[in-house]
């Protein structure tokens, strides 16, 4: 009878191991194109263009000097406030706003509990067999390598916290560049307005110059407001949100890894993970 019970437990462990592999593969985050950024930008430009057309020609709102002052000035001033190494990473930052890896926090939490269960049943070294399931996740691979190398829970916590802080810092540097541009763009618009007003007041004796100078004065403010409020600020907000989501995912992995290193009960890990998960995404793995 005892032998039958032991066999049943072993079979259950094997089945759980198979389920772990299936769930690890099913819960991989996939990189996808963020259509909302493109649709939102196109929609805003389209609505604004329709409003312009209803009041006259679109060409009334085209002014090359104003464009150069706002766009060129914003880029130049942002470069002054930024290190070259950070500024040249701008294409990657913009790509990050359009292509993001979607990870479900609930699935990540379940994944960590499953790994904790198999480590409890078969030993931490067994986790090395699952490292290939994280081939697109360098952070999780480092977690498993540190676990199987026998890194102490205290050292592991320090390593992973440093890793998390470094990633968050890199993100904030990129977001700061976009925020800087969003702050500078309206200011460059005001500078263009002042240039136009000075030109207009300096040539009042020639009525033919009043129109172009006034156009420069108004259009630069218009361009600055559009660049800052319609594009750069929303882009910075989206990058901030993406960063927060990625930090949450890394925290879930970090908490799970440290719990496995401490050989905590998976039920306790579930409680720990639920403390940082949003209410709607909390898990109930155990009855």
The domains of the chain are located at 84-287
pLDDT (0 to 100) of residue 10 = 39
pLDDT in tens, 1-29: 434 334 344 344 434 444 566 666 665 55
pLDDT of res. 175: 92
Low-confidence ranges of the chain (pLDDT < 70): 1-30, 287
Distance CA 176, CA 153 (A): 34
The whole-angstrom separation of Cα 87 and Cα 80 is: 10
Phi-psi domain of 263 (left: phi exceeds 0; alpha: psi -120 through 50; beta: other): left
* Cβ atoms 66, 216 nearer than 8 A: yes
Compute how many other C-beta atoms are within 10 angstroms of the C-beta atom of residue 132: 9
> Token digits for 72?
């060129």
Amino acid 172: pLDDT: 92
pLDDT for 234: 93
The residues facing 100 across adjacent strands are: 32
> Residue 87: what pLDDT?
85
This model's pTM is above 0.85 = no
Q: How far apart are the C-alpha atoms of 209 and 285, rounded to whole Å?
A: 74
Residue 27 has what pLDDT? 56
H or E, element range at 97: helix 90-98
Listed in sequence order, the DSSP H helices in 123-265 are 138-148, 153-202, 210-225, 233-261
Q: Are 184 and 201 in contact (CB under 8 A)?
A: no
CA distances (Å), origin 50, targets 22, 53, 56, 71, 225: 51, 5, 10, 23, 18
Rounded CA-CA distance 16/118 in Å is: 8
Angle at CA of residue 100, ends 38 and 90, nearest 5°? 75
Q: What is the pLDDT of residues 139-172, one digit of tens each?
A: 889 999 999 998 899 999 999 999 999 999 999 9
In the prediction, which pLDDT does 255 show?
95
CA-nearest of 279, 272, 281, 233 to 253 is 272
The three-state secondary structure class of 26 is: helix
pLDDT of residue 5: 38
């Amino acid at each position: 009878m005892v032998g039958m019970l032991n066999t049943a437990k072993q079979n259950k462990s094997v089945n759980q191991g198979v389920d772990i592999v299936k769930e690890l593969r099913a819960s991989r985050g996939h990189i996808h194109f963020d259509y909302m950024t493109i649709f939102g930008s196109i929609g805003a430009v389209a609505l604004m263009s329709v409003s312009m057309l209803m009041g006259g020609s679109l060409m009334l709102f085209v002014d090359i000097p104003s464009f150069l002052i706002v766009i060129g000035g914003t880029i130049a001033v942002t470069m002054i406030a930024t290190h070259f190494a950070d500024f040249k990473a701008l294409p990657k930052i913009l790509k990050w706003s359009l292509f993001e890896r979607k990870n479900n926090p609930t699935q990540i939490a379940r994944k960590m509990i499953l790994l904790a269960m198999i480590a409890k049943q078969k030993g931490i070294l067994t986790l090395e067999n699952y490292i290939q399931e994280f081939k697109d996740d360098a952070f999780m691979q480092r977690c498993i390598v540190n676990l199987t190398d026998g890194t102490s829970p205290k050292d592991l916590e320090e390593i992973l916290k440093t890793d998390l802080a470094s990633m968050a810092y890199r993100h904030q540097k990129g977001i700061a560049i976009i925020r800087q541009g969003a702050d500078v763009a309206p200011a460059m618009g005001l500078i263009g307005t002042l240039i136009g007003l000075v030109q207009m007041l300096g040539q009042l004796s020639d009525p033919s110059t009043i129109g172009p100078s006034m156009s420069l004065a108004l259009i630069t403010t218009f361009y600055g407001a559009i660049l800052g409020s319609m594009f750069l600020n929303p882009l910075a907000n989206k990058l901030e949100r993406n960063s927060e989501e990625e930090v949450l995912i890394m925290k879930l992995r970090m908490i799970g890894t440290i719990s496995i290193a401490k050989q905590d009960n998976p039920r306790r890990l579930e409680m720990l993970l639920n403390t940082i998960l949003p209410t709607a995404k909390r898990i109930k793995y155990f009855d």
